[in-house]
Structure 1
Amino acid sequence: MEPRGGGGGRWSVLAAVCLAALALPWSFVGGAVATPAVGRELGGSPQALGWVTSAFMLSFGSCLMAAGALADQFGRKRLFGIGIALFGLVSLAICLAPDIWWLNALRAAQGLAAAAAMAGGSAALAQEYEGEARGRAFSLLGTTFGLGLAFGPLLSGYLIQCLSWRAIFACGAAMGLLALLLGLPRMHESRDPNAAGLDWPGACSFTAMLALFTTALLQGPQLGWHSLLVRMLLLGSLALLLAFVWIERRVARPMLDLSLFRYPRFVGVQCLPIATSYCYVALLVLLPLRFIGIEGVGEVGAGLWMLALSAPMLVVPSLAVSLTRWRSAGFISAMGLLLAAIGLLGLSQARAGSPAMLLALLLIGCGSGLPWGLMDGLSVSVVPKERAGMASGIFSTTRVAGEGIALAMAGALMALFTGKGLADAGLRTSAAVVQRLASGNLTQAHALLPMVNPARLAETYGLAFQQLLYLLIALTLLSAGMVLVFLRSETESRV
């Protein structure tokens, strides 16, 4: 893989950006695995603990597109350096967090830094390589990202068992520092001479809309969906969404060009990250809570089980690209979602710790890996070449913001189904009991409801989890159908 213009120094740039791409998904899945341990040490309500993951995803997803615009204007190297340095410092600060509120605030700052590092690093890497070498560099970048997802839960489990949950973020700080030392001295600065600055009204309204909507989803189960605060949050998010659309249709250089949604195939591509959010990403957070808090397998055991779900991401995305020689990317993506739905169905019926559960997790990982390997290429191939940059930015935002919303919605639905299950069993409980059981904290739920056998509470959780899986199956199948409909015109293009 020869870099543009030669020079071994650009290998350092590639290594630095890949190291950042390894640290970012590890921060996401590591936070999910660490949540039970964080709760044991720092305490906090289920809503507060839910923000351990949601705060990172929300700030990362809502700021990713804005970070790309800032990189074009102020310099890709500069933004990467600022982002990765801030990521390392914030990760170090998380190790010293005295309570859950400080930790969540720092997780939001960590997501902001991750957006800057990813946007600046990816753009800088595109400037260092060209032609086929650029494709191989970005393929390696994607593989590294998959490594973080695949082995992050297992490594996080070992760190928690041997040291502490704080060690996860200490490793993130060390990886950020190493990426900074490797990449910054050898990276060339580059800018877009035609960059017109950031669409601040659009960026602010979009970020605020996501924040209000996510907060409403997290607070709804505790306060009740009819409470004034939750209603105000939902109405506020709707008003900000309308304001965002109004702004983007009138500014000269919008953050999000809404005219791209006139292309049916572009709309179909946006279904792919939304689908994988529900059939794959949500499980990266929900399953560790179940394995640790309900099944009692411990952090390392949870990491081993999660390996069955995430390890296929190391090979299946590349296999999907090879399969496009024979069938269209849209068809392969839809079949992958169908396979993931079959895996979800198997998971809903499998007994905990059984070979059937192992097979179901492998099916979900393999099925999700097929669209995962194709959707980045599809996001820019289904629009005219001159719109590719904007299309990629919209896709990235849809992907990460959709994952954050999916996590919040999955948590809210688990609380809803758990509360209904407890009520159907004739148990009069408080919102605190429902929330702790829905978040996988069987010990605290039983402490609040000592007259009920823990096995009965675990059974209620299992039924609620099964109901959630049924809904995820329906969403995955619906997405597969939409992909087939909107991408049906794809007959010749291959990724």
Structure 2
Amino acid sequence: MRTWGPLTAVSLGTFMLLLDVTIVVVALPDMARALGASLGDLQWVIDGYALALAALLLGVGAAADVLGRRRLNIIGTALFAVASLGCGLASDAQLLVAARAVQGLGAAAMFATTLPLLGAAYQGRDRSVALGVWGAVSGASAALGPIVGGVLTEGPGWRWIFFVNLPVSVASIWLTLRVVPESKGPAGRRIDWAGTAAFAGFAGAGTYGVLRGGTHGWTSTTATAAFVVSALALLCFVLVERRVSQPLLDLRLLRKPAFTGVLVGAIGYNAAAFGVIPYFSIWLQTVLGMSPVRGSLVLLPLAGTSFLVAAVGGRFLHGVAPRLVIGVGLLLIGAGGLCMAVLDAGSSWPSLIPGLTVSGIGTGLVAPALAGAALASVPPANAGTAGGAVNTFRQLGYAVGVALFGTVLTSRMQESLGHDAAHTAAGGGAAALHGTVPADAVRSAFAAGLNTTSLTAGAAGLVAGVLVLVMVRTPKEKTVPVTVTAAPERAPRVEEHVR
């Protein structure tokens, strides 16, 4: 490498924003106690960030091409830092959720500009090295999130999972200003504001409908209205994208089964692999009585196996069709979910190890291959759109998974505990039920709920795996090797923004 400065600056920001996707998982019980948060509040603490990141990623990437990628990256990092301070100082759950959404906006500006900045700063072999390191950092951040969150929550307190972003943000901005060159997209680029707003409305209203449906019933006025708004927003998005000259997402690409199959795989991957993890974390801490650190270490089989498989898999799977790697990986994630559906009132954390390990193997296969498969399924001119769409649908899958699986969990629990007690226990308030609900009944109900949730997640992984194996068939699949990074490093035009 000629210089490590730009790579260090970009990777620092990437590590921080992706860490915050999962860092809150282990802190949820402490947040619930400190803020009096309900299950719905806790779900929005996760989904507010993931949804903002997913819904705005494509639009912000287009804005970066017009306004300057380094400039928008710095603005995004500064906004992320201010929002992190707001999260740490939040006095109630509503303020925390709002600050998390603003955090997601800043993260979208950071994430959308990372690859274009690296593409402008490095050429040739240096670019390949830079993208490889960036991919490794991306994978490590998601894996380390729960562990870092557990250490900070048990140490200085849960608010420090947000305060720690402040010095890192300052360092990232300072380094970016010093060593990262400015770059822009082709002249004449326009921002599709209408498409951005419509997609954000579709994603946000749909997720809100799932959350409200689980709490108040699927036919309740609120849930029905949310789903109607989501459907209308999706219709508006389609109409806008068909008419604008520079759409966020070229809808003609969706006619390609291979590309659509990759997007299905991206949604299924993040939903099935990670959507149920927050509820296992709540069970480990509030029902089994584990500390945040011990609770986070239980998840090591998933994180460690995933990282190991991703690191060594590229060498042994070189030249294997991406659809096979992704499809088999999703099937393993689905199988892992089924393996975790073995809990009862007397179960403890070792019951999760086989399922987490199998899911970790699948995760290590899927994550590095998704971007390459998306790029292989579209013409080179659409490489930027393909990469951005995969990142968007991954985050959307996580947000929807958290919302949907929370609904499944509470629906199953309330069969034996009743509505109020089920939502209290699922939201981290099992201790508040002492004296009114027998502890064994809570353990039994939570275990039954997690079993049903794991079965649902497992089924989602299996269905996604089958669809990928059936749909992702392209002439290029024999020539596109599986890489060990999550970055689209083989894109012919990696210097374009990831839209």
- Which region of structure 1 is more displaced relative to structure 2, 273-282 or 202-211? 273-282
Q: 1:240 & 1:316 partners in 2: Cα distance?
A: 39
Name the SS of the counterpart of 2:181 in structure 1.
coil
Task: State the AA in 2 paired with 1:462.
Answer: A
Judge conservation of contact 2:72–2:110 (CA < 8 Å) in 1.
Answer: yes
Identity %: 29
Judge conservation of contact 1:338–1:367 (CA < 8 Å) in 2.
Answer: yes
Judge conservation of contact 1:321–1:374 (CA < 8 Å) in 2.
Answer: no
Q: Which consecutive aligned stretches of 4+ in structure 1 deviate over 4 angstroms post-superposition?
A: none
1:414 is displaced (CA, Å) by 1.3
1:482 pairs with one of 467, 473, 480: 467
Which residue does the alignment assign to 1:170?
163
Q: 2:286 & 2:55 partners in 1: Cα distance?
A: 31
Q: 2:87 & 2:292 partners in 1: Cα distance?
A: 20
Structure 1 residues 489, 254: closer, same or farther in 2, change over 3 A? Answer: closer
Q: 1:72 & 1:19 partners in 2: Cα distance?
A: 21
1:376 pairs with one of 367, 371, 379: 371
TM (norm. structure 1) is: 0.92
- Which region of structure 1 is more displaced relative to structure 2, 485-494 or 240-249? 485-494
Q: 1:320 & 1:263 partners in 2: Cα distance?
A: 28
Judge conservation of contact 1:32–1:52 (CA < 8 Å) in 2.
Answer: no
Residue deviations 1:7-26, cap 9 Å, x none?
Answer: x3xx2221111111211122
Q: 2:279 & 2:103 partners in 1: Cα distance?
A: 21
Q: 2:430 & 2:171 partners in 1: Cα distance?
A: 40
Which residue does the alignment assign to 1:333?
326
Structure 1 residues 150, 443: closer, same or farther in 2, change over 3 A? Answer: same
Judge conservation of contact 2:333–2:462 (CA < 8 Å) in 1.
Answer: no
1:360 is displaced (CA, Å) by 2.1
Name the SS of the counterpart of 2:27 in structure 1.
helix
Which residue does the alignment assign to 1:89?
82
Structure 1 residues 349, 271: closer, same or farther in 2, change over 3 A? Answer: same
Structure 1 residues 122, 286: closer, same or farther in 2, change over 3 A? Answer: farther
1:251 pairs with one of 225, 244, 251: 244
The answer to whether 1:117 aligns with 2:113 is no
Which residue does the alignment assign to 2:15?
22
Which residue does the alignment assign to 2:409?
414
Alignment of 1:187-226 (within 5 A): 187-226=180-219
Alignment of 1:220-299 (within 5 A): 220-299=213-292
Task: State the AA in 1 paired with 2:466.
Answer: G
2:120 pairs with one of 115, 118, 127: 127
Task: State the AA in 2 paired with 1:371.
Answer: V
Q: 1:138 & 1:110 partners in 2: Cα distance?
A: 25
Residue deviations 1:194-224, cap 9 Å, x none?
Answer: 3422111111111111111111111222222
Which residue does the alignment assign to 1:321?
314
Residue deviations 1:231-288, cap 9 Å, x none?
Answer: 1111111111111111111111111111001212111211221121222121332321
Q: 2:366 & 2:398 partners in 1: Cα distance?
A: 15
Name the SS of the counterpart of 1:348 in structure 2.
coil
Task: State the AA in 1 paired with 2:226.
Answer: L
- Which region of structure 1 is more displaced relative to structure 2, 69-78 or 401-410? 401-410
Which residue does the alignment assign to 2:453?
468
Judge conservation of contact 1:42–1:99 (CA < 8 Å) in 2.
Answer: yes
Which residue does the alignment assign to 1:5?
none
Task: State the AA in 1 paired with 2:431.
Answer: T
1:350 is displaced (CA, Å) by 5.7
Indicate the RMSD between aligned Cα atoms, in angstroms: 1.8
Judge conservation of contact 1:221–1:435 (CA < 8 Å) in 2.
Answer: no
Name the SS of the counterpart of 1:321 in structure 2.
helix
1:315 is displaced (CA, Å) by 2.7
2:396 pairs with one of 391, 395, 401: 401
- Which region of structure 1 is more displaced relative to structure 2, 58-67 or 352-361? 352-361
1:364 is displaced (CA, Å) by 0.7
Name the SS of the counterpart of 1:194 in structure 2.
coil
The answer to whether 1:436 aligns with 2:436 is no
Name the SS of the counterpart of 2:478 in structure 1.
coil
Q: 1:356 & 1:96 partners in 2: Cα distance?
A: 37
Which residue does the alignment assign to 1:494?
480
Judge conservation of contact 2:306–2:362 (CA < 8 Å) in 1.
Answer: no
Q: 2:351 & 2:449 partners in 1: Cα distance?
A: 19
Q: 2:244 & 2:47 partners in 1: Cα distance?
A: 30
Q: 1:486 & 1:318 partners in 2: Cα distance?
A: 27
Which residue does the alignment assign to 1:76?
69
Q: 1:67 & 1:135 partners in 2: Cα distance?
A: 25
Q: 2:82 & 2:468 partners in 1: Cα distance?
A: 41
Judge conservation of contact 1:316–1:373 (CA < 8 Å) in 2.
Answer: no
Q: 2:330 & 2:17 partners in 1: Cα distance?
A: 25
Q: Which has the higher contact order (CA 8 A, sep 6+)?
A: 2
Name the SS of the counterpart of 1:31 in structure 2.
coil
TM (norm. structure 2) is: 0.92
Structure 1 residues 350, 488: closer, same or farther in 2, change over 3 A? Answer: farther
Name the SS of the counterpart of 1:230 in structure 2.
helix
1:68 is displaced (CA, Å) by 0.7
Structure 1 residues 201, 293: closer, same or farther in 2, change over 3 A? Answer: same
Q: 1:99 & 1:277 partners in 2: Cα distance?
A: 29
- Which region of structure 1 is more displaced relative to structure 2, 48-57 or 25-34? 25-34
Structure 1 residues 231, 387: closer, same or farther in 2, change over 3 A? Answer: same
- Which region of structure 1 is more displaced relative to structure 2, 36-45 or 276-285? 276-285
Q: 2:206 & 2:101 partners in 1: Cα distance?
A: 16
Q: 1:53 & 1:475 partners in 2: Cα distance?
A: 20
Judge conservation of contact 1:334–1:480 (CA < 8 Å) in 2.
Answer: yes
Task: State the AA in 1 paired with 2:138.
Answer: F
Name the SS of the counterpart of 2:243 in structure 1.
coil
Structure 1 residues 247, 85: closer, same or farther in 2, change over 3 A? Answer: same
Which residue does the alignment assign to 2:493?
none
1:359 is displaced (CA, Å) by 2.7
Q: 2:150 & 2:446 partners in 1: Cα distance?
A: 23
Judge conservation of contact 1:210–1:237 (CA < 8 Å) in 2.
Answer: yes
2:357 pairs with one of 359, 362, 374: 362
1:380 is displaced (CA, Å) by 1.2
Alignment of 1:179-190 (within 5 A): 179-190=172-183
Q: 1:195 & 1:348 partners in 2: Cα distance?
A: 54
Q: 1:162 & 1:264 partners in 2: Cα distance?
A: 49
1:356 is displaced (CA, Å) by 4.8
- Which region of structure 1 is more displaced relative to structure 2, 129-138 or 354-363? 354-363
